[in-house]
Structure 1
Amino acid sequence: MRAIPATPKHYLPLVSVDDLCKVMVRAATDSGLVGQSLLVAPEQNILLSELTKMIAQQFNVSAPKQHVPLTILRLISNWTWLANQLEMSAEMLSFLRTEQLDLEPLKQFRQCWDIQTGDLAGAITKTTDWMKQTTSTQII
């Protein structure tokens, strides 16, 4: 990755699989959620630039410091050949956020069921460690 998509204020609302499963198991048995939806997102966001630095450190490579505006990335995603070469799609860009998500219903749900939030940074580190062990591709 030569540059970070979007701006320094963007983040991905990442949730660990463990946290998602804890909420899903309880939500499946909660009669108050019948016919309802519940947004599962992190309470504390990790900026995309920080996430990139964390992963780069794990792979012992330099993290990119430059950002590519979303406008340019959207144009690229419309150019099918180039989007395919870069393995990107318009759907990927829709996950990038700057606004805070309404997590009050999730907070109340977690409190009601006593569901603790796990360590997202730790989960990212463990995932990166796993990727280093299982990938045969050289990270540059």
Structure 2
Amino acid sequence: ARDHGDRTNRAHHQLWLAIALTASDEFDQAGEILAERCDPSDHVALPWVRPMWHYHRAQLKLAAGRLDDADEDAVEAVRICERLDAPSLAVGPLALRIRVAVHRNELTEANRHVDHASLLSAAASGAALEELSWVTALLHSAE
């Protein structure tokens, strides 16, 4: 049996591979990796995998133009982050919800997500904060 470190590395690599495939418009392959090789039920000991799995599925669905499905996965990611008391992990999924709301021209809803993400951003760092800044600018340009 693999130890905890190997499982963490494997899960992390699979998530990043799915991200790269999504960015390359290889939606089917990214979906297969998320469905088959990165199933969060395989990683019960790694609580961060489940919200990140939903977040990356949401990114894939948004890239494929499936706004409702993307929003559902982002909502689930935020819910799990809140249950895990991991607010920094919720900033990325909330940023994705902002993007979905802007695409739908639901600017009041997008602003509500900005407020929620801003409250959680004190615990966040790096890419999540950059994504929040980017989508906030996107929202302001849409207003």
> TM-score, normalised on structure 1?
0.23
Larger relative contact order (Cα-Cα within 8 Å, sequence gap ≥ 6) = 1
Name the structure with the higher helix share: 2
> TM-score, normalised on structure 2?
0.23
Instruction: Name which one, 1 or 2, has greater alpha-carbon Rg.
Output: 1
